[in-house]
Every structure is written in structure tokens, then in C-alpha cells.
Amino acid sequence: MAGWAGAGAVAAGFVAIVLGSFIVDEVLHLLGVYPPWSEPLYDTKLLVLATAYRAVITLGGGWLTARLAPRTPMRYVQILAGLGLLGGIAGIAGAATHQPSLGPLWYPIAVAVTGPPAALWGGSLLSRR
């Protein structure tokens, strides 16, 4: 049963990260901070902002995964971080093949590099209690 519970913990952390990032993105689009979804984002300050809140949201996803994990929470957080790294690599590849239409290449690289450590840090916060 721990296998399913662990998979659920990873899935919950993943969904929290994706949903949290989308919600913040959508709010920033609705407020006019970001351009419409159909336009690429090139503003460096806004991309730094996006990188920062994605790192915080990913930290929360790592914490949630550790919180829901049945045993050895950091093992499941490491799986979450690995999935994030794979997704980040896919994002880099996609952006690299669609330059410059998807915005600057440094942004998906920054997300891929900051995501796994943020998830691991979030998971480690729970074990420090």
C-alpha cells in the first residue's frame, strides 16, 4: 500500500506545482502584468518574477509530497524533483527548437535549474520539525 500512497504523494506535489503556477500565471495575465497568452514574454523583470514564484510554488510542492509520503518522505521528494528535472529538460528542448518565438532560452534553463533544488528544500523543511 505504501507504493500507491507514495505515488499519490508525488502526484499531489506535481499537481500542486502545475496548478499553482498556472493560477499565478493566469492572475498576472488577468491583471495585465503579463501580456496576453498568445504573445511571448520577453521582459526580463517579469521572467525573473516568474522564476521566483515558480521556485516558491515548487518548494511548496516538495513540502506537500513529503507531508503526504507514507515513509521515507525524501525518497518521494527526490522522485518529484527528478520528474521536474525531466520536464525542465523537455522545456529547454522545446524552447531551443522554437527560438525566438517562445521567449529567451535562459528562462526555461532557469526553471529547470531552480526547480529540483526548490522541491528538495521544501521536502527537507518538513523533516526539520
Give a yes or no: residue 26 inside a domain: no
Domain for residue 41, yes or no?
Answer: no
Task: Decide if 103 is inside a domain.
Answer: yes
Length of the chain as a residue count: 129
> Within 10 Å of residue 65's Cβ, how many Cβ atoms?
32
Q: Is residue 115 part of a domain?
A: yes
Q: Do the domain assignments include residue 32?
A: no
Q: How distant is the alpha carbon of residue 117 from its chain centre?
A: 10
Burial of 129 (0-12, 13-18, 19+ CB in 10 A): exposed
pLDDT by residue (tens digit) across 5-18? Answer: 899 999 999 999 99
pLDDT of residue 2: 63
98: in domain: yes
Residue 37 lies in a domain: no
pLDDT, residue 102, reads 75
pLDDT band at residue 128 using 50, 70 and 90 as cut-offs: low
Full residue range of the structural domain in which residue 78 is found: 2-20+47-127
Q: Give a yes or no: residue 36 inside a domain.
A: no
Nearest by Cα to 58 from 7, 6, 9, 21: 21
* Number of domains comprising the chain: 1
Q: Whole-prediction pTM value?
A: 0.91
